[in-house]
Amino acid sequence: MRITRGYKSGNVEDRRGQRFAGGGGGLGGGGLNLLGFLFKRFGIVGVLIGGALLYFMGGFGDLGGSSAPAAAPSSAADLAGEQPMVELVSFVFDDAQRTWSETFAGESQPYQNAKLVLFRDRTQSGCGVGQAAMGPFYCPQDQRVYIDLSFYEELRKRFGAPGDFAQAYVIAHEVGHHVQHLLGADRKVRAASEREQAGANGLLVRLELQADCYAGIWGHGTQRRDLLEAGDLEEALRAANVIGDDALQKQSTGVVRPESFTHGSSAQRARWFKRGFEHGRPGDCDTFAASSL
């Protein structure tokens, strides 16, 4: 992907060099116990699956607590080594938001920029204490996207999805959640019953697939502006495939349980990203009206 090297964003808050000493918030002990169980049994895969459920229960769990040991800040060498990823994430974040600002132009509600927080290990968010093992997440309470850049190493090494456009897809997906928040889609899903939210065809999955489609809309714009390089689309589709619920469940337990899906299958995630990429229109991303996902 062609980006502006040395790019700096005014929408990015870098906390990687800060020490985190813990704090309250989020779901408290219940969220901590659930995520702790998932992490011990299934590793990051289990936490990625559980994170979405905790979000709709009212926020992320307090994974630190005031008695937890403080997370050490990143060293200067760590910060320097991650600089190319910082530039990519910053560029993509701002570029995706410009895309949505243009899309919202002329509408009654103008686009409002989100912020991006870079952190190491764990950090405080408006939704509680976020942890690296939860993967990237969007917090509607403070309208911020949070990411520990070590997630990209996990994506590359463990899940076999390398490449800068795979990394870009992750950021564009989280920006998609911000768009949903501005439009009120996430609030409607949270107000629905658990029966309506749950399952392979439920509202949780539809919300996540719409965010994938919204990420594809941004990708459509990058193609039109000649920012893509050979193989970029394949990188994003590969990432969408390896983090589908069925792929994650196969890796963690060997058994696929569609009734516990929260993000959609690999095929669905790739399909909806590609739909947005090919058409570039928000109206084509209405997963809630789709008879088949």
Q: 150-179 pLDDT, tens per residue?
A: 999 999 999 999 999 999 999 999 999 999
The predicted-structure confidence for 194-246, as pLDDT tens digits, reads as follows 999 999 999 999 999 999 999 999 999 999 999 999 999 999 999 999 999 99
Mean pLDDT of 56-72: 39
Mean pLDDT check: name the lowest of 36-40, 69-73, 124-128, 245-249.
36-40
Does pLDDT of 38 surpass 80? no
The predicted-structure confidence for 84-132, as pLDDT tens digits, reads as follows 999 999 999 999 999 999 999 988 889 999 999 999 999 999 999 999 9
What is the model's pLDDT at position 41? 40
What is the model's pLDDT at position 270? 98
Mean pLDDT, the chain, rounded, equals 85
Rounded CA separation 150/153 (Å): 5
Rg (CA), the chain: 18
What would the two tokens of residue 258 be? 């569609």
Does pLDDT of 60 surpass 80? no
β pairing state of 122-125 and 128-131:
antiparallel
Mean pLDDT check: name the lowest of 28-42, 68-82, 246-260.
28-42
Mean pLDDT of 5-23: 88
Q: Are 207 and 266 in contact (CB under 8 A)?
A: no
What is the model's pLDDT at position 203? 97
What is the model's pLDDT at position 23? 57
Question: How wide is the angle at C-alpha 18 spanned by C-alphas 17 and 22, nearest 5°?
Answer: 145
Mean pLDDT of 55-66: 36
147 three-class SS: strand
What is the model's pLDDT at position 29? 32
Could you state, in order of their start, the residue ranges of all structural domains in the chain?
12-17+77-285
Strand residues in the chain grouped as ranges (E): 12-14, 115-118, 122-125, 128-131, 137-139, 144-147
Mean pLDDT check: name the lowest of 2-16, 37-51, 210-224, 262-276.
37-51
Closest Cα to residue 27, out of 54, 51, 48, 47? 54
Closest Cα to residue 52, out of 245, 266, 249? 245
Closest Cα to residue 65, out of 109, 114, 28? 28
What is the model's pLDDT at position 71? 54
What is the model's pLDDT at position 263? 96
Rounded CA separation 214/208 (Å): 10
Closest Cα to residue 239, out of 219, 253, 255? 219
Look-up of token digits 């992490």: 39
What is the model's pLDDT at position 77? 75
Query: Residue 73 — pLDDT band, cuts 50, 70, 90?
Result: low
What is the model's pLDDT at position 42? 43
What would the two tokens of residue 143 be? 């309208």
Q: Are 111 and 121 in contact (CB under 8 A)?
A: no
Q: What is the pTM of this model?
A: 0.86
